[in-house]
Structure 1
Amino acid sequence: MPSAVCKYGGSEINFFMPQTPGAAWAKPSEMELTPSVFSHLLRRRHVKCDEAKPSCQRCVKWRGFCEGYETSSSARSTPVLEPDVRSTTPTKRLVVNNYNSDTILAEPTTNLFENETERQYFDHWLQYRNRLGGGFFDEQLWNETIPQLSRQHASVKYAIMAIGGIAQATRHSLKSTSPVQMGANGPHYHLALSYYGRAIREVREAKLDTSSLRGAIVCCLLFICFEVLHDDRKAAFSHINNGQRMMDELLRSSEQGDNVLGAESFEKDILHVFQRLIQQSWSCGVLRRRDQFLSNACSNSSGDESKSAQSWCCRGGSGGKCVIHNMPSSFATLQDARCWWDVTQHYVTHSSDIVLRVTHLGLEDDFLSECNERVQRHMNDIEKARAGTRPAMSEQWQDFKDALERWHAGFKSLWMAAQESRDEEERSYAQAALLQAHYLTLYGCVHSPLSCSYDSIAQLTPKYREVVELCGYLLEYQQRSLRPCEIFTMDMGPTWLLFLAGTRCRDAEVRNKAIRLLHEHPRRDGLWDSRIFYALTVRNRVLEISNAQEGTLEEQWWRLQHRSAHVDEQGRLMARALDKNPLTGAWELGEDNLRRFLFD
């Protein structure tokens, strides 16, 4: 029997669900859910107190209270909350379009809250939720479904309030803020941790049914949002991994679990959000090991065996193939193009050997081994090329080029129409421009991977120039559309695109424009932090100047391919590169702390 093991603080939660290859699944609402089918397994671990008065921050976060001290009820920062405060007044009942018709949701009301502080934190999240989806496309998940699920699941309500509290604790600044600094900004940080702990406890105590699994997945998404604001990327990566496991079980249990694009609205919406977050984790050097079946099942295998082995993010193609093989030749709307772009981008990222040398230390080997192995293969190819035996691009790369071109062929007419009606339909143009910029960036990763030649990367200059121009427009568009402030989203914004253009493009003018845009528009798009990318691109600009002083263009590019960066276990941003030793005249691999390049 398969299980999804999800670690939340001091507990592990196992969701067990039956899986029989080839067996038909009933609708979730019709399934007989018994302890033998679906159960919790909780295992507490000791959490060492940090001895902070009046209560330990670690215990507040993971348990909602601290057993290390005896504190009078009058000294508590927040009252003990009941797991689910029921409203005594009638509420408006509604059915979310395309959602499970058996699930009736209620609009959030003030009766959900125990006190005014809770309501204020919840309302703060509501005020900014439209930005979490990126602000370019309409996002039913963020705008409607999650707020309504806060009535059905107390865990979702507490997770939302935790985000509202942590946002207040950071004083709406997206720069890195320490717990001490957040704690000095009033009671918000302590309350945010407390609500976070309550959300975790509600997930533990939830009823054993498919609805609770949906609620746990939404909480997982909200926990990622919280940890990004909390600046704890290690925890954010862990929640992304947990979310993937739970998504696998949810889609396997649904009636259309063998088709990720044929699932119900909730499953499809949250699936695409997780695909984008997985893309972000890959760009940070953190990637789950791809399934061993992938190289074969996506092309050769068929039937129930391959279907049961495939991960949730790849199922849906005819004859047991990956869902990307069902991509239509054209897309009716930009929203359709975006959904299929998520599928295409995910397939190319996980199935190919494209990789970036930016990562995080202190993570488990399961998070890093896939990217580390990819990097090593590229470095071996680079050494072979220096020895005069540059390996030819394999047929596998051609498959990914073809996948990208199939998507772009279907998108091309929409892109042309958006350009023609830019003045009348600017929002549609912005949506299309975002997709075009992401396509061009992934095109560069596939056609000129880490081990590519100088000529290969130089040929991409026009595409990187277009990427920077599009990103400049997108940033200016959002600045006009939203209130002037630092933007925080959980979507695929322009930040990462500017970082790649600012480090890979061989035109210094294009690189400098990308750097300027990163500096002028501080923001976070999920795991992507413009301040970190700005520091890396500025350090690269210094490196480019010294590197250009010696050798041919190919030799200079070979040295640049040794660039890497990581965030160490102390949270320091470190960069490694080949630099010339002024004493010996040799090019040596050195490490540099980039703190001086981080701006406030």
Structure 2
Amino acid sequence: MGLRDTPIEDASGVDRIAGKPPSLPNAKTKPSAMRQNHANQARGQPSSKGTPSCQRCVTAGRVCDLSLSQPRARPSLANQIESQANAIQLHAVAEKDRLLIDHRILTEPNRILSIFKDQAQWDMFHAFLFTNHQTGTLPINALSAMTPMIAQQEVAVREICCAVGAAGVAFTNPNSDPVADQKQYQLSLVYYNRAVQAIRGAEITTNTLLTVALASILFITYDMIRGDMQTAYVHFDYCDRIIKSYFEKRCEEAGVPLAQIQLSTFESAVFEIFQRLTTYPWVLELGLDGSKVEHKIRKKCEGDLHRHRLREMPQFFVDLPQALMWWDVTQHHLFHHHDFMDSCEETGPEGISSTNTAWKESLAILQQWHNGFLPLLQTARQRQDDDPRPYPSACVLEALYVETLAGLHLRHHPDTNVLPNARSIYFDMIKTARTMQQQWNPANGFLSLDNTIVRPLIFVLLKCRDAAVRQAVEELVLEINEGSQLARLLLVMMSMDRNSKLPQKLRNVERALGWYLTSCGCNSGLSSAL
């Protein structure tokens, strides 16, 4: 029995009530009645139209007190104007209702929506989609982008997605009250337990291991949102064992190393996020008040689990996603295979020789990546007027390259007086963000504003401590805070004194944003604030 469930088409779940359509208020006389009136007039009999007596009075031989043939009173001009105004208002309300998007589950028969148990579950899944949105100007996390599609088929993934959505509403919504937060938290625990039960009740095979690994990463996300870091590390250790076991079995079945196996898109995305989380430090605080907290996962690279070899790196990268993928590979080799040599540095001539070798090899690897990336950076810079969106992503990778280069200088030549600096790159990102803010269309919604403009500015604040750069970021955020809730929260966190303690919800927001940047690859293995 696998993790997948079979959607059930339930006609009774459709909340559209079928009924007899009401008759039109201005319906014309039926054809049979019209023919009868014409026949009466042909025989010289009066038509039934305008008869001053009802049928009951005709039978009793009486005359109606109310004559239907009396002329109707003509409405006054004021009444006509009022009636027309009411009709216009009703038409406007009806048009507004028609244009509103109905997010209710099963407003019409739908196979995908039928897999959700009730409206609340769909609402929480929709909240997860909102926070998981991957379009913008930062590098894209491929596994997060495909998670909603996988959740349609896998019960455990769907349930933990709903738990993450409910936890986000409970722990990161600054405008909710404690009663509503507690209710959402309890709801998130329901989905959390359902996901655990789905995993425990499934038969673990090679095919289902990858789904369990994805669910484990989502469990980490859930723990990060609510601030339970100890449980998050436990889930990561479990995820580590599951992913290693999966790829080791793939190698055993194929009889070749991992580098020679053709991986699917899902397998590649899982491997890349695992490599990223074992290479880059986890950002727990953004340093918006001037400080920064990171957690480095000290995992050794064991065995032959390498998807790519440095000698296979292309001379030039095709696009930014390929450059990001090879950046992860470069950082992995620097952190796990070259830069560790200084930790066992020996004294004497042999120790100096070993340090020089590590320095030269690390610099050569880093320069090899940068040579392949440089044409993409130049192209994105030249096409800013036509499409400014790719340039911030290219600037992120360039800033990470400069940060890593400076880290290598500090590690191998600590007496260096001048270090590479990414200050000009951050100013370019701020300038591009201002251009996009001026071109931004409010019809696109505040989510587009957050992902396109605000999140790259958060990356700048995370990486840069220069006072002029941070001041430029604050000025731009002040201009856009009316249209973005994230920008308003950012201003509040930046205005907090370093010695003061952030409110718990703002701390949760900060940690969630740090996890978002970490999972997108917006970091380096040799992290240092420039």
Match status 1:285 vs 2:287: no
Report the 3-state secondary structure (helix = DSSP H, G, I; strand = E; otherwise coil) of the residue aligned with 2:385: coil
Q: 1:153 and 1:498, CA in 2 relative to 1: closer, same or farther beyond 3 A?
A: same
- 1:499 deviates by 3.6
1:400-549 matches, within 5 Å, as: 400-449=362-411, 452-453=414-415, 455=417, 458-460=418-420, 463-473=421-431, 480=440, 483-484=445-446, 495=458, 498-502=461-465, 509-510=468-469
1:535-574 matches, within 5 Å, as: none
- 1:268 deviates by 0.8
Q: Which residue of 1 aligns with 2:144?
A: 142
Tell me the distance in 2 between the aligned counterparts of 1:253 and 1:520: 54
Tell me the distance in 2 between the aligned counterparts of 1:513 and 1:392: 43
Tell me the distance in 1 between the aligned counterparts of 2:496 and 2:334: 25
Assess if the C-alpha contact under 8 Å between 2:317 and 2:373 holds in 1: yes
Q: 1:422 and 1:487, CA in 2 relative to 1: closer, same or farther beyond 3 A?
A: closer
Q: 1:448 and 1:151, CA in 2 relative to 1: closer, same or farther beyond 3 A?
A: same
Letter in 1 for 2:405: Y
Q: Which residue of 2 aligns with 1:195?
A: 191
Assess if the C-alpha contact under 8 Å between 1:149 and 1:156 holds in 2: yes
Match status 1:210 vs 2:210: no
Q: 1:474 and 1:426, CA in 2 relative to 1: closer, same or farther beyond 3 A?
A: closer
Q: Which residue of 2 aligns with 1:87?
A: 8
Q: Which residue of 2 aligns with 1:258?
A: 258
Tell me the distance in 1 between the aligned counterparts of 2:125 and 2:419: 50
Assess if the C-alpha contact under 8 Å between 2:127 and 2:165 holds in 1: yes
Q: Which residue of 1 aligns with 2:173?
A: 172
Assess if the C-alpha contact under 8 Å between 1:468 and 1:498 holds in 2: no
Name the structure, 1 or 2, with higher relative contact order (CA <8 Å, separation 6+).
2
Assess if the C-alpha contact under 8 Å between 1:156 and 1:219 holds in 2: yes
Structure showing greater radius of gyration is 2
Higher helix share: 2
Assess if the C-alpha contact under 8 Å between 2:160 and 2:215 holds in 1: yes
- 1:153 deviates by 1.7
Report the 3-state secondary structure (helix = DSSP H, G, I; strand = E; otherwise coil) of the residue aligned with 1:449: helix
Tell me the distance in 2 between the aligned counterparts of 1:83 and 1:212: 9
- 1:241 deviates by 3.2
1:358-377 matches, within 5 Å, as: none
Q: 1:130 and 1:289, CA in 2 relative to 1: closer, same or farther beyond 3 A?
A: closer
Q: 1:266 and 1:252, CA in 2 relative to 1: closer, same or farther beyond 3 A?
A: same
Sequence identity percentage: 21
Assess if the C-alpha contact under 8 Å between 2:139 and 2:324 holds in 1: no
Q: Which residue of 1 aligns with 2:122?
A: 119
Match status 1:161 vs 2:162: yes
- 1:204 deviates by 1.4
Assess if the C-alpha contact under 8 Å between 1:217 and 1:246 holds in 2: yes
- 1:157 deviates by 0.8
Tell me the distance in 1 between the aligned counterparts of 2:435 and 2:230: 32
- 1:341 deviates by 1.1
Assess if the C-alpha contact under 8 Å between 2:259 and 2:307 holds in 1: yes
- 1:513 deviates by 5.5
Tell me the distance in 1 between the aligned counterparts of 2:356 and 2:366: 16
Tell me the distance in 1 between the aligned counterparts of 2:492 and 2:359: 30
Report the 3-state secondary structure (helix = DSSP H, G, I; strand = E; otherwise coil) of the residue aligned with 1:448: helix
Letter in 2 for 1:142: S
Q: Which residue of 1 aligns with 2:23?
A: none
* Aligned pairs, number: 377
Assess if the C-alpha contact under 8 Å between 2:143 and 2:269 holds in 1: yes
Q: 1:468 and 1:518, CA in 2 relative to 1: closer, same or farther beyond 3 A?
A: farther
Tell me the distance in 2 between the aligned counterparts of 1:344 and 1:234: 29
Q: Which residue of 1 aligns with 2:46?
A: none
Higher strand share: 1
Report the 3-state secondary structure (helix = DSSP H, G, I; strand = E; otherwise coil) of the residue aligned with 2:331: helix
Q: Which residue of 2 aligns with 1:6?
A: none
Q: 1:282 and 1:140, CA in 2 relative to 1: closer, same or farther beyond 3 A?
A: closer
- In the superposition, the TM-score normalised over structure 1's length comes to 0.52
Assess if the C-alpha contact under 8 Å between 2:166 and 2:187 holds in 1: yes
- 1:158 deviates by 0.4
Tell me the distance in 2 between the aligned counterparts of 1:520 and 1:448: 38
- 1:186 deviates by 5.0
Report the 3-state secondary structure (helix = DSSP H, G, I; strand = E; otherwise coil) of the residue aligned with 1:130: coil
- 1:220 deviates by 1.4
Tell me the distance in 2 between the aligned counterparts of 1:336 and 1:474: 23
Assess if the C-alpha contact under 8 Å between 1:150 and 1:156 holds in 2: yes
- Unmatched tracts of structure 1, length 5 or more: 1-32, 34-38, 40-81, 91-106, 294-308, 318-322, 355-369, 540-569, 574-600
- 1:151 deviates by 3.1
Q: 1:153 and 1:469, CA in 2 relative to 1: closer, same or farther beyond 3 A?
A: same
Assess if the C-alpha contact under 8 Å between 1:519 and 1:534 holds in 2: no
Match status 1:328 vs 2:307: no
Assess if the C-alpha contact under 8 Å between 1:495 and 1:518 holds in 2: no
Q: 1:232 and 1:510, CA in 2 relative to 1: closer, same or farther beyond 3 A?
A: same
Tell me the distance in 2 between the aligned counterparts of 1:533 and 1:391: 47
Tell me the distance in 1 between the aligned counterparts of 2:280 and 2:495: 18
1:375-414 matches, within 5 Å, as: 393-414=355-376
Assess if the C-alpha contact under 8 Å between 2:330 and 2:365 holds in 1: yes
- 1:242 deviates by 2.8
Letter in 2 for 1:459: L
Assess if the C-alpha contact under 8 Å between 1:251 and 1:257 holds in 2: no
Q: Which residue of 2 aligns with 1:550?
A: none
Q: Which residue of 1 aligns with 2:92?
A: none
- 1:429 deviates by 2.2
* Bigger shift: residues 115-124 or 474-483: 474-483
- 1:344 deviates by 1.1
Assess if the C-alpha contact under 8 Å between 1:258 and 1:316 holds in 2: yes
Report the 3-state secondary structure (helix = DSSP H, G, I; strand = E; otherwise coil) of the residue aligned with 2:173: coil
* Bigger shift: residues 406-415 or 185-194: 185-194
Report the 3-state secondary structure (helix = DSSP H, G, I; strand = E; otherwise coil) of the residue aligned with 2:220: helix
Q: 1:286 and 1:454, CA in 2 relative to 1: closer, same or farther beyond 3 A?
A: same
Assess if the C-alpha contact under 8 Å between 1:122 and 1:161 holds in 2: yes
- 1:275 deviates by 2.9
1:166-187 Cα offsets, whole Å, 9 max, x none, are 122135359xx9xxx7665251
Report the 3-state secondary structure (helix = DSSP H, G, I; strand = E; otherwise coil) of the residue aligned with 2:377: helix
Assess if the C-alpha contact under 8 Å between 1:129 and 1:142 holds in 2: yes
Letter in 2 for 1:196: Y
Assess if the C-alpha contact under 8 Å between 1:440 and 1:467 holds in 2: no
1:232-257 Cα offsets, whole Å, 9 max, x none, are 23333333333232222222233476
- 1:476 deviates by 5.3
1:497-527 Cα offsets, whole Å, 9 max, x none, are 644431xxxx66457667888999999x9xx
Q: Which residue of 2 aligns with 1:274?
A: 274
Q: 1:500 and 1:477, CA in 2 relative to 1: closer, same or farther beyond 3 A?
A: same
Match status 1:219 vs 2:215: yes
Assess if the C-alpha contact under 8 Å between 2:223 and 2:231 holds in 1: yes
- 1:276 deviates by 3.0
- CA-atom RMSD in angstroms: 4.8
Q: Which residue of 2 aligns with 1:546?
A: none
Q: 1:508 and 1:135, CA in 2 relative to 1: closer, same or farther beyond 3 A?
A: closer
- In the superposition, the TM-score normalised over structure 2's length comes to 0.59
Letter in 1 for 2:126: D
